[in-house]
Amino acid sequence: MKAMLRRTSEEQADDVWILQADIKINLNTYEVYVHDTRANLTPTEFKIVTTLAEKPGRVYSRLQLMNIPLIPMSVT
């Protein structure tokens, strides 16, 4: 897993990204990009994608994925 701090502007100075192949996940803004196209995910989908990207190669059961605590997200 490659997590990086991206500093391109004052607004993005504290954005933390997870990068996996062609997937980019912004942990601060809850945005996911696949092949540089933004994916519209529900909070549950975001948490599952983030969990899988944080530990690539790890196998999770359906129950484990369903029990992942959700991150409160504001709608923008």
User: For residues 59 and 36, what is the distance between their CA atoms, to the nearest angstrom?
Assistant: 26
Reply yes or no on whether the pLDDT at 72 is more than 60: yes
Which domains are delineated in the chain?
Answer: 2-66 (1.10.10.10)
Band (pLDDT 50/70/90 cuts) for residue 64 is very high
End-to-end distance of the chain based on CA atoms, in angstroms?
Answer: 28
51-62 residue pLDDT tens: 999 999 999 999
What is the per-residue pLDDT across 18-62, written as a single tens digit (0 to 9) for each?
A: 999 999 999 999 999 999 999 999 999 999 999 999 999 999 999
Q: Rounded to two decimals, what is the model's pTM?
A: 0.72
